Amino acid sequence: MTIPAIRVSAVTKQYGSLRALGGVDLEIAQGEFFGLLGPNGAGKTTLISALAGLVRPDSGSLEIMGHDVAGDYRNARRNLGVVPQELVFDPFFSVRELLRIQSGYFGIRGNDDWIDEILASLDLTHKASANMRTLSGGMKRRVLVAQALVHRPPVIVLDEPTAGVDVELRQGLWQFVRKLNRDGHTIVLTTHYLEEAEALCGRIAMLKAGKVVALDTTGNLLRRFATHSLRVRVDNLDAALALGGLAAEDGWVEFGFDSYGEVESRLASLRESGAGLREMQLGEPDLERVFVEVMHRA
């Protein structure tokens, strides 16, 4: 039986009166591209910090590739690479020097070939000799990714890796991360860009107030929770809202439906109400709708 890449068992963490983690159980298989989603304050960063050994949980256990984070910290940490949400860097070194120092933390020497490969994959080769202080925010974030990979960990956690990154850099980063996943690395992603999670993640857990409130494949979550949408722009907004529509941006009104057969009757109701249809859009289920629905139910 293959051991899971990550196993979280009944983990709790309390900060005074704040419950950061309220008994989290989670198992992530080797080779998965896994999404960890939730609103601000849901406990995502606390859980990641606990996996990295930076936070000691009040109860429960965590394992990385079968190594207990508390009892076998050295091997657990060696198997994990974490890209933090904050831009934390040493301003006194160049990019290459920083990666060599990071390698030294894990007792690795003479790995310039691997460093060169990482730099090329992240389009950082031309910045290898640049001081960290001179880099843009997007480039600094790429260096954080390179630091997490320098010891070749099988499990990689990305905590909001594309926050503040422009579109071109973001696309290049995801291309590289997809390749890592294809090569067998387990990827755990937290992001507020739900379209990214929908496109990348095979399975998703949603946290709220320190608890897992949804856990399933992305496809199953879309089928279980999300509805299609009918968006209309009308002459008489109040008439459309009186039919149960929800006000959207720029004067649009949105109705949810489960099957396309409902669209005809909804349009008939709008016509009879005197709302006056001007424009219409049909929307497919997406992860943002799932997220809102799950958080509302939770």
Please write the tens of the pLDDT for every residue from 263-275: 888 888 988 898 8
Q: Are residues 195 and 231 in the same domain?
A: no
Q: Are residues 232 and 217 in the same domain?
A: no
Residue 123 inside a domain? The answer is yes
Q: Are residues 98 and 166 in the same domain?
A: yes
Q: Are residues 144 and 196 in the same domain?
A: yes
Question: What is the domain extent for residue 252?
Answer: 226-297
Q: Are residues 144 and 242 in the same domain?
A: no
Residue 16 inside a domain? The answer is yes
Mean pLDDT in the chain? Answer: 89
Question: Total structural domains in the chain?
Answer: 2
Residue 29 inside a domain? The answer is yes
SS3 letters across the chain: CCCCCEEEEEEEEEECCEEEEEEEEEEECCCCEEEEECCCCCCHHHHHHHHCCCCCCCEEEEEECCEECCCCHHHHHHCEEEECCCCCCCCCCEHHHHHHHHHHHCCCCCCHHHHHHHHHHCCCHHHCCCEHHHCCHHHHHHHHHHHHHCCCCCEEEEECCCCCCCHHHHHHHHHHHHHHHHCCCEEEEECCCHHHHHHHCCEEEEEECCEEEEEEEHHHHHHHHCCEEEEEEECCHHHHHHCCCEECHHHEEEEEECCCHHHHHHHHHHHHHCCCEEEEEEECCCHHHHHHHHHHHC
* Per-residue pLDDT reduced to its tens digit, 73-87: 999 999 999 998 888
**pLDDT reading at 284 higher than 80:** no
Residue 1 inside a domain? The answer is no
Average pLDDT of 166-192?
A: 88
What local confidence, expressed as pLDDT, does residue 226 receive? 60
What local confidence, expressed as pLDDT, does residue 261 receive? 80
What local confidence, expressed as pLDDT, does residue 287 receive? 86
Average pLDDT of 257-262?
A: 78
Residue 284 inside a domain? The answer is yes
* Per-residue pLDDT reduced to its tens digit, 111-151: 889 999 999 988 899 999 999 889 888 888 889 989 999 99
Q: Are residues 162 and 270 in the same domain?
A: no
* Per-residue pLDDT reduced to its tens digit, 194-223: 988 999 999 999 999 999 999 999 988 887
pTM, two decimals, is: 0.81
